[in-house]
Amino acid sequence: MADRSNNKIRITVVTPYKTFLEEKVESVTLPALDGDIGIMAGHTPLVLALKPGIAMVRNGDEKRHFTVSEGYAEIGQHMILVVCNSAEWPEDINLRRMCESYKDSKESLMAANAIEDKRARDIALKELEQEAGRARARRKLIESYGTDHQRNRLSELREEYDWE
């Protein structure tokens, strides 16, 4: 049997609170600012900015999905280092907190538009849009890869929070 370890790339995902993931995988997909990027062993070295979205790691037929927030990724030929503010597996997402966060960020976005100082308004809007982006990424993760129970609960909460 062929040695497949040379075909793997080590991914490490760190947040301010913990090392979220550290393992060798066959491929990784990350949500970059310019669109999703797929990475395998032997990739050209690169540093890229990440936006809130869904990341995926693959080993054979097994694919695992998780959210990442804004951050960056340093990519080498045999390693990926992701540094982001948060990363979550679908089973770790608190659905009510996610909906409340989205609702709060939408309300705050409307209030931020009334800030007279352009620089302060732009900073507030950028931070609030990132917060809303994190909530949207979590929602998409649950809708696409969550359990049936999570998807049903999310449907109930979307009505309660008027989240289209």
Domain boundaries of the chain, sorted by first residue: 5-88, 90-160
pLDDT at 1: 41
Q: How many CA atoms lie within 13 A of 124 on its CB side?
A: 17
Q: What architecture (CATH level 2) is domain 5-88?
A: Sandwich (2.60)
- What pTM was computed for the model? 0.86
When the pLDDT of each residue in the chain is averaged and rounded to a whole number, the result is: 91
Number of H helices, E strands in the chain: 3, 10
Task: Find all residues with CB under 8 Å of 139, minimum gap 6, and list them.
Answer: 98, 102, 154, 163
Condensed to tens digits (0 to 9), the pLDDT of residues 107-154 reads 887 888 788 888 988 888 888 888 888 989 999 999 999 999 999 999
Identity of the highest mean pLDDT range in 78-82, 92-96, 110-114:
78-82
pLDDT at 5: 58
